[in-house]
């Protein structure tokens, strides 16, 4: 199992450019998430998905879009990059057990994005 993989590891964008951050998991998890982490801060949820075809907004969705066409993939799209989107982006996945207490989230290694 590779777990949760993210590409690219690093990227520099110019203001107004667009890009897609890729996230793939091979654990057959239903739930997937995108978080961002600004320097020295905790993680904030951008979007999440409870299964293929179902996505919903998290705490900070503005400026981002997602899609979930398969169980494995959950790409994050930035349409018009802005300096405020400079951050480290983490993808995560989980498979909640029945009873709900053991829903461990597994995180990818992150994508470091700089918008200049």
Strands 10-13 and 111-115 come out as parallel
Residue from 43, 78, 81, 113 touching other proteins (CB under 8 A): that is 43
What tokens appear for 86 in the block?
A: 């400079």
State which residue, 65 or 107, has the beta carbon closest to other proteins. 107
Q: How far apart are CB 47 and other proteins at their closest, in Å?
A: 10
Contacts of 40 (CB under 8 A, 6+ apart): none
Query: Site residues for other proteins, window 44-83 (CB under 8 A)?
Result: 44-45, 48-50, 56, 58-59
3-state helix, strand, coil in the chain (%, to 5): 5, 50, 50
Minimum CB separation of residue 112 from other proteins in Å reads 9
> How crowded is residue 87: how many other Cβ atoms within 10 Å of its Cβ?
22
In order of 15, 40, 79, 106, 115, the CA distances from 19 in angstroms are 11, 25, 7, 24, 11
Name the residue nearer to other proteins (CB basis): 70 or 104: 104
Among residues 108, 113, 115, 116, which is the contact residue for other proteins, using CB under 8 A? 108
Binding of other proteins by 90 (CB under 8 A) = yes
Site residues for other proteins per CB under 8 A: 4, 31, 33, 35, 41-45, 48-50, 56, 58-59, 90, 92, 94, 96, 99-110
């Amino acid at each position: 199992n590779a777990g949760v993989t993210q590409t690219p590891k690093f990227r520099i964008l110019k203001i107004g450019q667009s890009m897609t951050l890729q996230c793939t998991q091979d654990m057959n998890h239903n739930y997937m998430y995108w978080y961002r982490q600004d320097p020295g801060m905790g993680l904030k949820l951008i979007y999440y998905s409870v299964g293929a075809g179902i996505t919903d907004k998290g705490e900070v969705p503005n400026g981002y879009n997602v899609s979930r066409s398969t169980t494995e993939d959950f790409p994050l799209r930035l349409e018009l990059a802005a300096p405020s989107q400079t951050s480290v982006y983490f993808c995560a996945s989980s498979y909640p057990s029945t009873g709900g207490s053991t829903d461990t989230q597994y995180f990818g290694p992150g994508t470091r994005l700089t918008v200049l």
